[in-house]
A = this chain, B = another copy of it.
Amino acid sequence: MKSYRKELVFNVPSRRGFINITDQVQACVDESGIKEGLVLVNAMHITASVFINDDESGLHHDFEVWLEKLAPEKPYSQYRHNDFEDNADAHLKRQIMGREVVVAITHGRLDFGPWEQIF
């Protein structure tokens, strides 16, 4: 079985943000030369997510508002984990949004729906 691994690094200037990484993932698939198989795309940190959804700025605003409702950042004192850090909410938000995606590769292309993008 052929395998290929690549680490991509992203700097998010604000506390939370959405980065469309679809093109970079497709570029990795291209580099790998793999035509049929699976690509695993996972965050390498416990407060980050990789997920597949729409690249629409209104929706990303909705995600931000919704995640703050389900797992609010503040007050920090509501979380015991924040005795060490101030990012307990990010650990929770990651459970909603997910750590990883697995995408099929077909004829060398990411094989998903027309509006699906990887973030």
Contact surface of A with B, Cβ cutoff 8 Å: 1-3, 5, 36-38, 40, 42-46, 51-54, 56-59, 61-63, 66, 70-71, 79-84, 88, 91-92, 94-104, 106, 111-113, 115-116
Tallying the copies of this chain within the complex gives: 3
Residue of B nearest to A52 (CB): B99
Contact between chains at B81 and A62 (CB < 8 Å) = yes
| Closest beta carbon of chain B to A112's beta carbon, Å | 6
Judge whether A100 and B102 touch: CB under 8 Å.
yes
**8 extra interface residue pairs, beta carbon distance < 8 Å, beyond A40-B103, A58-B83:** A1-B2, A5-B111, A42-B103, A46-B52, A46-B53, A51-B99, A63-B92, A99-B101
**Quick one: given A58-B81, A102-B102, are A43 and B113 in contact (CB under 8 Å)?**
yes
Give bound CA distance, A5 to B102, whole Å: 14
- Whether A44 pairs with B113 at a CB distance below 8 angstroms is yes
Query: Whole-angstrom distance from the CB of A11 to the nearest CB of chain B?
Result: 16
In the assembled complex, 7 residue pairs joining A and B whose CB atoms fall closer than 8 Å, in A order, are A1-B37, A40-B104, A45-B115, A53-B94, A54-B91, A59-B91, A95-B98
